[in-house]
Amino acid sequence: MASNSMNFFTTLLLLTTCLSYVASFEFQVGDTKGWVVPPANDTRIYNDWASENRFRAEDSVRFRYKKDSVMEVTEEEYKRCNSTQPSFFSNTGNTVFHFGRSGTFYFISGANGHCERGQRMIVKVMAQDEASSTSPNSEKSSAARIRTSSLGSLKFVFTPLAVWGFASILL
Ligand SMILES: *[C@@H]1O[C@H](CO)[C@@H](O)[C@H](O)[C@H]1NC(C)=O
Ligand SMILES: *[C@@H]1O[C@H](CO)[C@@H](O)[C@H](O)[C@H]1NC(C)=O
């Protein structure tokens, strides 16, 4: 009896831990195209991409690029493509940026002339209450999240399955 309720609470703890993990999401910027200078006739690709997704504070974005860089800057710096004092800079070719808060984030390429040619992006990260108050659309938008970032979502599909399997062994 005692060990049964122990198992139950262990399972509950495990589920809670894993569910909070499942709730975070990694988006690949630009999907398969990655982080590149957009074609001249389609310079809005990154803002279009960002507005098709719903981002929350616990989510992150992954930038994949070659001979380029990514910076987080202020709104003013974004507008002017000013890369002199970024608050975040990376040029590793594979950068994960974790939001950590709601609000608006501005990203630009630090490579010469790339930002001017449209390699920049505004990301709006929703507050927690904003995310839940828009629940009538949540089914549609979660489908969109999965479709637009299938690479990132794959592991989150399998985690609940694994937890479920583990839980049924315990119980
Ligand atoms: C941009 O130009 C390319 C090549 O000329 C073309 O295939 C593509 O459809 C154009 N895209 C837009 C959005 O006009
Ligand atoms: C670029 O940004 C920095 C810091 O915000 C500022 O000091 C500088 O004057 C800006 N340069 C231009 C050309 O706007």
Q: Count of residues for the chain?
A: 171
Q: Is 81 in the pocket of ligand 2 (CB under 6 A)?
A: no
pLDDT, position 22: 55
| Ligand 1 geometric centre to CA of 143 (Å) | 28
Beta-strand relationship, 70-73 and 103-108? antiparallel
Cα–Cα distances (Å) from 21 to 58, 74, 86, 108, 154, in that order, read: 9, 30, 30, 29, 13
Rounded average pLDDT over 11-29? 71
- Chain-centroid distance of CA 134 in Å reads 19
Q: Worst-scoring range by mean pLDDT, 78-82, 89-93, 120-124, 162-166?
A: 162-166
Answer yes or no: are the C-beta atoms of 131 and 57 closer than 8 Å.
no
- Report the atom number in ligand 2 closest to the C-alpha of 76: 5
- Rounded CA-CA distance 161/165 in Å is 6
Q: Is the pLDDT of residue 102 over 80?
A: yes
Q: Worst-scoring range by mean pLDDT, 46-60, 77-91, 146-160?
A: 146-160
| Ligand 2 geometric centre to CA of 84 (Å) | 7
Query: H or E segment at 19?
Result: helix 2-22
pLDDT, position 128: 77
Of all protein residues, whose CA lies closest to atom 3 belonging to ligand 1? 41
- Report the atom number in ligand 2 closest to the C-alpha of 85: 4
- Rounded CA-CA distance 45/39 in Å is 9
- Report the atom number in ligand 1 closest to the C-alpha of 42: 13
Q: Is 39 in the pocket of ligand 1 (CB under 6 A)?
A: yes
Q: Is 40 in the pocket of ligand 1 (CB under 6 A)?
A: no
Encode pLDDT of 113-171 as tens digits.
999 999 999 999 998 777 665 544 443 344 344 444 444 444 444 445 455 555 565 55
Residue among 62, 65, 142 nearest 99 (CA): 62
Share of the chain above pLDDT 90, in %: 60
Q: Is 77 in the pocket of ligand 2 (CB under 6 A)?
A: yes
Can you state the angle between helices 150-170 and 2-22, rounded to 10 degrees? 180
pLDDT, position 28: 97
Rounded average pLDDT over 77-94? 98
Answer yes or no: are the C-beta atoms of 38 and 46 closer than 8 Å.
yes
Superfamily of domain 26-148: Cupredoxins -  blue copper proteins (2.60.40.420)
Which position has the higher pLDDT, 75 or 153? 75
Answer yes or no: are the C-beta atoms of 26 and 96 closer than 8 Å.
yes
